[in-house]
Amino acid sequence: MKELVGTGVALITPFNSDFSVDMEGLKNVVNFSIENGIDYLVVLGTTAESATLSKEEKQLVINTIVSANNGRLPLVLGIGGNNTQEVISEMKTRDLSAFTAILSVSPFYNKPTQEGIYQHFAAIANAAPLPIILYNVPGRTASNMLPETVIRLANDFEKIIAIKEAAGDIVQAMKLISGCPKDFLVISGDDMITLPMVLAGGAGVISVIGEGFPKEFSKMVKLGLDRKVDEAYEIHYKIAPAIDYIFAEGNPAGIKTVFKSLGICGDTVRLPLVGVSDGLRTKIDSFIKNF
């Protein structure tokens, strides 16, 4: 899956002021990413506010992105949840012809054991029509998918080809890189430690900040993959303050503020999320102006 090495971005869902899906804004976001060096696009992940999209809106978002992309970049679709059979049903009934892989989050709220997590993904892998990227994000799921579980899944199922690792733990990431099969992709899900993970042997990132600064962030990842360490870290430290800013009051409120400052789309989010404070907005606007 070499097409998933490098920088992927977790696309937002822009909304109009009446909270309807802003299709023109979404097209702008897609084109901005493609025209500035992003390697692949992730559709309907957490950053897309998929939890607050109806079934019809999800299909609208998919159709809009597929059309705007027009075959230019590989697409990954988020299909995950804490109801194993519902995840399998969605995979089997949704048209996946435009997609390269499925990103599936570890079950949230239920707090399964490691064996429960294994069996959840085993069932998904056995039913999946496309390769699966595991997604470990303990800050949202309330459980950590341990390296031993990931390594077991990676060895037992050919359909499981990668993990988006967002525990924010570089030691855990290194255990994955060293313990998983060589062709298994360990992808950073944490923007701040993307470069260290790449230099440790990771395959790249599925990024939020890369959506707002695609040219610079994707260049940093490429430099890291090419082992041009000093040049890569120079970019990392320039972007690092923005990474802190966009997550300071929640995702995707922060990155939507970046897009509004850039004039690409609005910054409306849906409840229970709210927009960023005036103070944080000022910091983000100032960073972009000086950057």
- Tokens describing residue 153: 């899944």
Q: Is the peptide bond before 241 cis (omega within 30 degrees of 0)?
A: no
Classify burial at 16, counting beta carbons within 10 Å of its beta carbon; exposed 0-12, middle 13-18, buried 19 or more.
Answer: middle
Q: Establish whether 135 is a catalytic residue.
A: yes
**Is 47 marked as binding a ligand?**
yes
- What stretches of the chain show up as alpha helix (H) in DSSP? 23-35, 55-69, 84-93, 114-127, 138-141, 147-156, 170-179, 194-199, 209-212, 214-225, 229-248, 253-262, 278-290
Triad 34, 40, 46: Cα angle to 5°: 105
Q: Which of 40, 58, 118, 135 is catalytic?
A: 135
Neighbours of 77 (CB within 10 A): 25
Q: 58, 159, 164, 222: which is the annotated catalytic residue?
A: 164
What does the alpha-carbon distance between residue 39 and residue 34 come to, in Å, rounded to a whole number? 8
Residue 13 marked in a binding site: no
- Give the tokens for residue 261: 């400052």
Calpha distance 137→167 (Å, rounded): 5
N-terminal to C-terminal alpha carbon distance within the chain: 34
Q: What would the DSSP string read from start to end of 101-147?
A: EEEEEPPPSS---HHHHHHHHHHHHHH-SS-EEEEE-HHHHSS---H
Distance CA 118, CA 149 (A): 6
Are the CB atoms for 14 and 259 separated by under 8 Å?
A: yes
What's the length of the chain? 291
Annotated binding site: 47, 206
Instruction: Give the residue numbers marked as catalytic.
Output: 135, 164
Annotated binding site for pyruvate: 47, 206
